[in-house]
């Protein structure tokens, strides 16, 4: 048990980058001890003492000292080391760094150091550093999304390593863009970066961030830009660009009327986003293909250069689930060191992008086990950092009888242990999650929705899963949920295709799913929502299994293969996997899209030939769900999911065009052109 009972905070420490730009950071140190070295108090803008777990700031000002001395040699990931001291016998600490574009001075960052983890970590003997990234809030320079994070991250890690309060080991932490700052820094191999924990973040900033399946992720990109990147940073932008008060008010108005902003055409230029305020947004729209602009930023091409272990945490309803999984898979295969490969871990809960460690998503409450009762996220992280930054080895779990059909969940302090709700022996190959830590033998921990339990696995995807095709069938009238569309494992024979009209001015509305983020009035809620009302539209094709005769678990990647045609030179095809209850509630599990002209390559556009049937592959990413007896497995097919994705105007023209055409789109499902969804079935 740590003897630390308080923390000391040093605010706005200047950190100079290699190009002379100064970024500012807050530092949180375990209390009760002074640190040796030259004084830095004069360079900082203020320091305070933080006492107790509640994170209250005392009035007392501490003389916190540090120095930019010679960096200490890192002992390497996971090397057991005793607590380090300076020449004067004062303590040095392993450091956890968060680099954020979202304002380090906000309560979520300042009161807890790193948005919840920080105070816990400080009381367990870690120092915490929270920094505003370039051009954001207190830091100097111009913000250009992703572009400067690799070098700035490297420089910040190595600056920390020189400080008298650092023992030479630096970890990184945080989600979304904060996760991107970790991967981009790790790509550069800072000598003292020892472990990273990137949450809900991407592996490729073209596919899976700005675009998906060739479609522009409009809902996320525009709301992120209008609200988080420009709106919240307006004071900084006003100073740097000398914006008028009227322009600042217009930025606020645009963020408050996001629904109207989504519908404006053309997308380029956008009347609510000025290029001088958000050059990066215009860059994203100007580079729809996977070209050199994206290749220089991509993580997937550089996993072999990453030397550190990584704890990857995501949600089944997170917008960046694709990247979370790919980062884990690639690090296990190609990480730059043995520790990087063996130390890659994956945790996926039933969460949305902003609902990590909660028990409810959308309309579904998955029970207390989905949250801290079943997974203590702070403790999971602390154990991870203790392993790699302090050299503490996770004890092996006590042997348990394989004859037992019920196992208790790990004990949580102050909470009576709860039994698992069903017999473990029903699942062949996985095991009930044991304890807060994750072992190298079972580096994957997933939450199985429907069963509502955590399970540890040896790999992803699961080797024991059986890849199964569920084929689309109908007599040509699969339109709406009242149509004749069916889904089965039997391949089709001679069947009539299904057709619908897609009008870009009347798109299928987004209802739930993997969205981010909704802080504005009328914002779109994420997660599982009932799609039944949407399925009354004639431009939504619906294919369902009969009532299931037994529980059916689907855990793994999900892909829809369509044979389809369009009357236009370009169009989109969308797909969604759903769980339908006996009462008819249709809850979305995962969804995807493919843009016609990018169907063969994300780098080279190729128009469709009107009326010609072609194969389209739609990546719905992944899920883990128990379809219960009496439920149905359902697939929806359409051509829009707006504003999650921008509307394809069906003309093949660029984002600077507002010309619209109505398309007649057709889905085939016959012996020569079978359409199907591929699911991983897990025996229980």
Query: What is the pLDDT averaged over residues 202-214?
Result: 98
Q: Which of 47, 74, 138, 176 is catalytic?
A: 176
Q: Which of 192, 206, 353, 631 is catalytic?
A: 353
Q: Residue 7 has what pLDDT?
A: 79
Of the listed ranges 2-11, 221-230, 384-393, 659-668, the least confidently predicted one is 2-11
Asked about 669 being catalytic, the answer comes back as: no
Neighbours of 465 (CB within 10 A): 18
Query: What is the pLDDT averaged over residues 121-150?
Result: 95
- Kindly compute the dihedral angle of the four CA atoms of residues 668, 627, 321, 601, in this order, to the nearest 10 degrees: -10
How far, in Å, CA of 13 to CA of 36, rounded? 17
Q: Give the bridge partners for 216, in sequence order.
A: 211
Please say if the pLDDT value at position 31 is more than 90. Answer: no
Q: Residue 30 has what pLDDT?
A: 92
How far, in Å, CA of 37 to CA of 163, rounded? 8
Would you place residue 202 in the very low, low, confident or very high pLDDT band (cuts 50, 70, 90)?
very high
Please say if the pLDDT value at position 230 is more than 70. Answer: yes
Note whether 559 and 470 are within 8 A (CB): no
Grouping H, G, I as helix, E, B as strand and the rest as coil, residue 117 is: helix
Would you place residue 235 in the very low, low, confident or very high pLDDT band (cuts 50, 70, 90)?
confident
Q: Which of 290, 318, 376, 646 is catalytic?
A: 318
Q: Residue 32 has what pLDDT?
A: 57
Q: Residue 356 has what pLDDT?
A: 87
Q: Residue 517 has what pLDDT?
A: 78
- Mean of all residue pLDDT scores within the chain: 86
Closest of 199, 160, 203, 169 to residue 184, by C-alpha:
203
**pLDDT per residue over 184-201, tens digit each?**
999 999 999 999 999 999
**Torsion sign across C-alpha atoms 222, 227, 228, 234:** positive
Q: Residue 373 has what pLDDT?
A: 85
Rounded-to-5 percentages of helix, strand, coil across the chain: 20, 30, 50
The separation between the first and the last C-alpha atoms of the chain, rounded to the nearest angstrom, is: 40
Whole-angstrom CA distances from 274 to 137, 420, 669 are 19, 54, 46
Select the more confidently predicted residue: 251 or 600: 600
**pLDDT per residue over 644-667, tens digit each?**
999 999 999 999 999 999 999 999
Please say if the pLDDT value at position 65 is more than 80. Answer: no
632 phi/psi in degrees, rounded to 5: -125, 150
b/e per residue 87-123 (b: at least 16 CB within 10 A)? eeebbbbbbbbbbbbbbbeeeebbbbbbbbbbbbbbb
Whole-angstrom CA distances from 124 to 6, 381, 387, 420, 437 are 10, 12, 13, 30, 16
Q: Residue 410 has what pLDDT?
A: 35
How far, in Å, CA of 150 to CA of 188, rounded? 6
Q: Give the bridge partners for 556, in sequence order.
A: 623
DSSP, residue by residue, 363-393? TEE--GGGTTTT--HHHHHHHHHHHHHS-PP
Grouping H, G, I as helix, E, B as strand and the rest as coil, residue 433 is: coil
Q: Residue 91 has what pLDDT?
A: 87
Of the listed ranges 71-85, 243-257, 294-308, 523-537, the least confidently predicted one is 71-85
How far, in Å, CA of 10 to CA of 414, rounded? 33
Q: Residue 119 has what pLDDT?
A: 81
DSSP, residue by residue, 216-275? E-HHHHHHIIIIIIIITTHHHHHHHHT--HHHHHHHHHHHHTHHHHHH-S-SSS-TTS-T
Would you place residue 520 in the very low, low, confident or very high pLDDT band (cuts 50, 70, 90)?
low
Select the more confidently predicted residue: 139 or 39: 139
Note whether 324 and 331 are within 8 A (CB): no
List Cβ neighbours of 226 (8 Å cut-off, separation of 6 or more).
251, 254, 255, 258, 261, 272, 273
Give percent of the chain above pLDDT 70: 82
Largest pairwise CA distance in the chain: 84
Please say if the pLDDT value at position 492 is more than 50. Answer: yes
411 phi/psi in degrees, rounded to 5: -65, 140
Whole-angstrom CA distances from 551 to 15, 556, 595, 629, 636 are 56, 16, 35, 5, 21
Q: Is the pTM of this model over 0.85?
A: yes
Q: Residue 83 has what pLDDT?
A: 52
Note whether 24 and 132 are within 8 A (CB): yes
Compute the residue count for the chain. 684
Q: Residue 165 has what pLDDT?
A: 96
Asked about 192 being catalytic, the answer comes back as: no
Q: Residue 286 has what pLDDT?
A: 97
Would you place residue 632 in the very low, low, confident or very high pLDDT band (cuts 50, 70, 90)?
very high
Please say if the pLDDT value at position 345 is more than 90. Answer: yes
Of the listed ranges 100-109, 169-178, 207-216, the least confidently predicted one is 100-109
Of the listed ranges 29-38, 330-339, 439-448, 485-494, the least confidently predicted one is 29-38
Please say if the pLDDT value at position 2 is more than 80. Answer: no
b/e per residue 157-178 (b: at least 16 CB within 10 A)? bbbbbbbbbbbbbbbbbbbbbb
Asked about 176 being catalytic, the answer comes back as: yes
Query: What is the pLDDT averaged over residues 370-375?
Result: 88
Closest of 94, 96, 98, 97 to residue 75, by C-alpha:
94
- 596 secondary structure, DSSP code: G
Note whether 22 and 65 are within 8 A (CB): no
């Amino acid at each position: 048990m740590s003897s630390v009972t308080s923390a000391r905070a040093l605010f706005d420490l200047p950190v100079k980058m290699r190009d002379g730009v100064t970024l500012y950071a807050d530092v949180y140190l375990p209390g009760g001890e002074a640190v040796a070295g030259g004084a830095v108090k004069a360079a900082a803008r203020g320091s305070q003492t933080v006492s107790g777990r509640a994170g209250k700031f005392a009035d007392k000002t501490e003389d916190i000292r540090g120095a930019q001395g010679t960096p200490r040699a890192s002992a390497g990931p996971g090397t057991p080391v005793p607590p380090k001291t300076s020449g004067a016998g004062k303590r040095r600490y392993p450091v956890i760094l968060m680099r954020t574009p979202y304002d380090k001075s906000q309560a979520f960052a300042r009161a807890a150091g790193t948005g919840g983890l920080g105070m816990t970590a400080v009381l367990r003997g870690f120092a915490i550093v929270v920094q505003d990234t370039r051009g954001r809030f207190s830091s100097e320079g111009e913000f250009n999304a992703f572009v400067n994070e690799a070098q700035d991250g490297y420089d910040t890690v190595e600056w920390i390593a020189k400080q008298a309060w650092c023992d030479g080991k630096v970890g990184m932490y945080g989600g979304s863009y904060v996760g991107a700052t970790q991967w981009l820094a790790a790509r550069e191999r800072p000598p003292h970066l020892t472990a990273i924990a990137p949450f809900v973040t991407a592996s490729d900033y073209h596919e899976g961030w700005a675009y998906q399946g060739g479609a522009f992720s409009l809902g996320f990109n525009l709301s992120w830009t209008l609200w988080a990147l420009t709106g919240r940073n307006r004071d900084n932008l006003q100073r740097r660009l000398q914006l008028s008060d009227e322009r600042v008010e217009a930025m606020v108005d645009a963020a408050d009327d996001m629904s109207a902003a989504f519908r404006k055409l053309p997308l380029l230029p956008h009347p609510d986003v000025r290029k001088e305020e958000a050059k990066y947004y215009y860059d994203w729209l100007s580079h729809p293909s996977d070209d050199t602009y994206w290749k220089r930023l991509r993580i997937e091409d550089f996993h072999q250069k990453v030397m550190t272990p990584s704890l990857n945490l995501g949600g089944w309803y997170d917008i960046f689930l694709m990247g979370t999984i790919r980062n884990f898979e690639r690090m296990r295969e190609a990480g730059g060191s043995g520790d990087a490969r063996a130390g890659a871990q994956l945790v996926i809960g039933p969460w949305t992008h902003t609902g990590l460690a909660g028990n409810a998503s959308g309309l579904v409450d998955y029970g207390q086990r989905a949250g801290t009762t079943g997974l203590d996220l702070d403790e999971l992280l602390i154990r991870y950092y203790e392993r790699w930054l302090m050299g503490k080895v996770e004890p092996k779990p006590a042997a348990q009888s394989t004859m037992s059909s019920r196992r208790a969940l790990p004990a949580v302090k102050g909470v009576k242990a709860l039994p698992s709700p069903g017999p473990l022996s029903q699942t062949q190959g996985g095991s009930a999650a044991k304890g807060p830590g994750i072992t190298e033998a079972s580096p994957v921990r997933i939450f199985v929705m429907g069963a509502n339990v955590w399970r540890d696995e040896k790999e992803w995807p699961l080797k024991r899963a059986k890849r199964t095709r569920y084929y689309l069938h109908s007599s040509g009238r699969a339109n709406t949920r009242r149509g004749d569309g069916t889904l089965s494992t039997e391949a089709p024979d001679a069947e009539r295709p299904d057709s619908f009209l897609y009008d870009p001015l009347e798109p299928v509305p987004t209802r739930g799913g993997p969205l981010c983020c909704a802080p504005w009035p009328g914002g779109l809620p994420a997660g599982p929502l009932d799609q039944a009302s949407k399925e009354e539209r004639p431009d939504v094709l619906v294919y369902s299994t009969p009532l299931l005769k037994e529980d059916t678990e689907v855990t793994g990647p999900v892909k829809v293969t369509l044979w389809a045609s369009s009357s236009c030179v370009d169009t989109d095809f969308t797909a969604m996997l759903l769980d339908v209850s006996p009462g008819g509630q249709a809850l979305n599990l995962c969804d995807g899209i493919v843009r016609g002209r990018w169907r063969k390559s994300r780098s080279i556009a190729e128009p469709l030939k009107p009326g010609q049937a072609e194969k389209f592959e739609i990546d719905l990413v992944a899920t883990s769900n128990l379809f219960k007896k009496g439920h149905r497995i359902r697939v929806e097919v359409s051509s829009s999911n707006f504003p999650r994705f921008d509307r394809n105007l069906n003309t093949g023209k660029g984002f600077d065009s507002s010309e619209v055409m109505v398309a007649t789109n057709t889905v085939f499902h016959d012996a020569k052109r079978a359409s199907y969804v591929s699911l991983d079935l897990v025996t229980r």
